[in-house]
């Protein structure tokens, strides 16, 4: 999960609707307040910070710590659209989207998704193409397929009602310990712990944990601390008189919020941190050593050539198979260049001399035509460079050299390699990230009628 998730404020356009529970039995649904209405000044924190910190005040340091966090959250929580609802479905969608993705990106995706698929029923029945289109650009598409599987399981086993029990949630496809804990606590105010990247950073610093938090023992210890804290909050619940306070929900969100806004990876703001006086990492001068995470594996470079073929006002595109990265998404025909396979790299190098440039051009040209033949099934008369796309995905840096294909091709041979689609049809399909950017270049150059 990205350490920088939940970092910006909501500016998304509101959707004027109320999310309905999937079953007429009714879930604890809070009305979703559209962005415009929120901007009009509807308060979203039922208690102010002073009240909140008093509620959890106690002699034990643990209670002081949770009280300080709740108080700070009451004063500083960002107004995010998924914080306007107790609907477990909306909270689930936000939690899955926020994995590996920053808050500022998720805002628009979440609003769009909730408008198109407002409940379990609509998700369970959605066509895969629609799901992928709504998720287009968020990456890790297995997540969205798992969500649909989970929605179908909820329809079959729980009558369309989102389960409230932690164990039932864990049994759903794609829902792990963190996501189940987040839904249980945020939607149902249960005292279940959460541990994501932000919480790991906060807790390792607060408690001065020097071990690698991904190792079994340290990880179990962190889960234990998170559980102890949220249980302490729940044990104070009887002192809370405001019916909307929902302490476990607010406490878990306060931990994540502190990690996103104050206890950030590179520049923690310890001078304004509400729990600074409890922080062992700060007292021992070890803040910048924590968390003690292993170095990330080196990113691998991958090079591709892609071909944009157009005939009779239609583009040749193809759908990726299942079981690969970006499975089921669409793309322009392309080929990965394995080292040495085509003899030369296509891109020019700054150290090229005049001679090597010519050699590179000649060899590159014949290599390129060979590559085009492999991808398209026929050799195009002319290939014209369109653009170079650089794109990162998981631990890969991809470079995509893109060429326009001209000349009379044997239509039947080429057709076997994909589908010829008009721009209007292409617009409705979910495209892999790098190939979506090719569409953007085509649109920018106004060479083709891509809207």
Q: At what angle do helices 103-116 and 88-98 cross, to 10 degrees?
A: 140
Residue (126 or 275) nearer to ligand SF4, CB: 275
Find where tokens 């476990």 sit: 248
CB of 86 to ligand SF4, least distance (A): 28
Nearest distance from C-beta of residue 208 to ligand SF4, angstroms: 9
Q: Using alpha carbons, select from 433, 397, 394, 402 the residue that is nearest to residue 301.
A: 397
> Among residues 381, 372, 434, which one has the least CA distance to residue 409?
381
∠380-381-382 over CA atoms, to 5°?
95
Report the residue number, 200 or 434, with the smaller CB distance to ligand SF4.
Answer: 200
Tell me, yes or no, if 156 is annotated catalytic: no
Instruction: Copy the structure tokens of residue 423.
Output: 């721009």
The kind and range of the H/E element at 390 are strand 382-393
The two tokens of residue 267 are 């520049």
Task: Look up residue 45 and give its two tokens.
Answer: 């924190």
CB 15 within 8 A of CB 115: yes
Residue with tokens 């989102």: 162
Query: Which of 276, 325 has the CB closer to ligand SF4?
Result: 276
Residues that bind ligand SF4 (CB under 6 A): 202, 205-206, 262-263, 268-270, 273, 275-276, 279, 281-282, 287
With CA atoms as reference, report the closest residue to 3 among 252, 210, 258, 247. 258
DSSP readout, 116-144? H--SHHHHHH--HHHHHHHHTTT--THHH
Is residue 291 reached through a cis peptide bond, with omega within 30 degrees of 0 on the bond before it?
yes
Cβ(313)–Cβ(346) under 8 Å?
Answer: no
Angle between the N-to-C axes of helices 61-76 and 216-235, in degrees from 0 to 180, rounded to the nearest 10:
80
Contact yes or no for 438/317 (Cβ under 8 A): no
Cβ proximity to ligand SF4: between 267 and 416 the closer is: 267
Least distance CB 271 / ligand SF4 (angstroms): 8
Q: Are strands 300-311 and 396-406 parallel, antiparallel or unpaired?
A: parallel
Rounded to a whole number of angstroms, the minimum distance from the CB of residue 275 to ligand SF4 is: 5
Closer by beta carbon to ligand SF4, 66 or else 263: 263
| Shortest Å distance, C-beta 144 to ligand SF4 | 34
Closest distance of CB 228 from ligand SF4, Å: 17
Minimum Å gap between C-beta 267 and ligand SF4 is 10
CA–CA distance, 411 with 309 (Å, rounded to integer): 11
Selection from 175, 278, 187 nearest residue 225 by Cα? 278
Of 156 and 228, which has the nearer Cβ to ligand SF4? Answer: 228
Structure tokens at 79: 């107004």
Write down the least CB distance from residue 254 to ligand SF4, Å: 12
Collapsed DSSP state (helix, strand, coil) of residue 249: helix
CA distance 135 to 119: 16
Residues 6+ apart with CB under 8 A from 166: 180, 181, 184, 190, 192
3-state secondary structure of 399: strand
Identified catalytic residue from 95, 111, 136, 331: 95
C-beta of residue 258 within 8 angstroms of C-beta of residue 276: no
Indicate which residues carry an active-site annotation.
95
């Amino acid at each position: 999960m990205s350490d920088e998730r939940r970092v910006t404020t909501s500016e998304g356009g509101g959707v004027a609707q109320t999310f309905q529970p999937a079953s007429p039995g009714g879930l604890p649904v809070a009305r979703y307040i559209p962005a415009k209405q929120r901007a009009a000044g509807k308060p979203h924190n039922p208690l102010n910070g002073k009240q909140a910190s008093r509620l959890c005040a106690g002699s034990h340091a643990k209670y002081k710590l949770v009280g300080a966090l709740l108080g700070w959250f009451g004063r500083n929580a960002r107004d995010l659209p998924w914080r306007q609802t107790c609907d477990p479905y909306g909270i689930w969608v936000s939690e899955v989207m926020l994995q590996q993705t920053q808050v500022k990106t998720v805002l628009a995706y979440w609003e769009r998704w909730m408008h198109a698929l407002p409940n379990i029923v609509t998700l369970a029945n959605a066509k895969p193409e629609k799901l992928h289109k709504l998720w287009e650009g968020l990456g890790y598409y297995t997540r969205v397929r798992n969500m649909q599987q989970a929605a179908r399981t909820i329809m079959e086993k729980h009558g369309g009602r989102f389960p409230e029990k932690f164990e039932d949630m864990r049994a759903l496809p794609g829902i792990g310990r963190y996501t189940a804990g987040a839904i249980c606590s945020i939607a149902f105010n249960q005292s279940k712990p959460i541990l994501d990247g932000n919480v790991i950073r906060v807790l390792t610093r607060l408690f001065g944990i020097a071990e690698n938090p991904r190792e079994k023992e340290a990880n179990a210890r962190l889960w234990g601390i998170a559980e102890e804290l949220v249980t302490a909050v729940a044990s104070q619940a009887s002192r809370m008189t405001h019916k909307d306070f929902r302490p476990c929900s607010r406490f878990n969100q306060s931990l994540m919020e502190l990690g996103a806004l104050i206890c950030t990876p590179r520049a923690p703001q310890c001078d304004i941190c509400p729990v600074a006086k409890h922080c062992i990492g700060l007292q021992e001068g070890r803040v910048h050593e924590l968390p003690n995470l292993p170095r990330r594996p080196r990113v691998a470079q991958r090079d591709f050539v892609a071909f944009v073929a157009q005939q009779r006002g239609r583009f040749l595109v193809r759908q990726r198979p299942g079981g690969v990265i970006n499975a089921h998404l669409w793309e322009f025909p392309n080929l990965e260049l394995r080292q040495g396979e085509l003899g030369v790299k296509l891109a020019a190098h700054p150290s090229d001399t005049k001679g090597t440039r010519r050699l590179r051009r000649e060899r590159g040209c014949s290599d390129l035509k060979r590559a085009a033949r492999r991808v398209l099934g026929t050799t195009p008369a002319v290939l014209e460079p369109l653009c170079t796309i650089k794109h990162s995905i998981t631990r890969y840096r991809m470079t995509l050299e893109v060429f326009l294909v001209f000349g009379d091709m044997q239509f039947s041979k080429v057709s076997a390699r994909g589908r010829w689609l008009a721009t209007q049809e292409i617009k409705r399909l979910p495209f892999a990230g790098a190939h979506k950017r090719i569409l953007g270049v085509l649109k920018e150059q106004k060479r083709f009628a891509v809207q």
